[in-house]
Amino acid sequence: MQFMQQYAVYIFIALLISWLLWQRVIGPRLSGVKSLSAADYMQMRKQPHTLVDVRQPGEWQAIHATTAIHIPLGEVKQRMHEIPKDKTVVVICASGGRSSMAATALANAGYGEVYNFSGGMGAWSSAGLPTK
């Protein structure tokens, strides 16, 4: 008991880091989500797919991919029916963290080929991919 009291902060930090690693790295890999770079996306963008932007409305309004549909991360589970299951799904956010969580949820819900766009909208814009 004294150990727990003495090291409570360290235990909390270790648990937090473990949870973050699970959410962003381990969980997506176990679910079959693949990472997709801007260069890889340029190669496959002519193939049928659905691009899902999971950022908040303010972020979406500032800039977004022209072909993306907008479903904020907090609404993904309730709005999955808007995402076709018969196409590849590419999920994007600002940096890759939220899209990783959304992509994992989609893969766990039975979506076949699900990709997390690496680097988010920053990488998208840097690659010169079309935005609104």
Instruction: Tell me what percent of the residues of the chain surpass a pLDDT of 90.
Output: 67
Contact, 90 vs 42, CB < 8 A? no
Report the CATH number of the 2-126 domain: 3.40.250.10
**Residue whose structure tokens are 């693949």:** 34
- What pTM value is reported for the model? 0.78
Residue type (1 letter), 4: M
Alpha-carbon gap, residue 16 to 22, rounded angstroms: 10
Q: How confident is the model at residue 17 (pLDDT cuts 50, 70, 90)?
A: confident
- The alpha-helical segments, DSSP class H, found in 7-130 are 8-21, 27-31, 38-44, 57-62, 76-79, 97-108, 120-126
Catalytic site residues?
93
**18-22, 37-41, 100-104: range with lowest mean pLDDT:** 18-22
Alpha-carbon gap, residue 43 to 65, rounded angstroms: 16
| Residues paired with residue 99 on neighbouring β-strands, in sequence order | none
State both tokens at 102: 């959304």
Residue type (1 letter), 35: S
Q: What is the mean pLDDT of residues 32-53?
A: 93
Helix H or strand E segment including 2:
helix 2-6
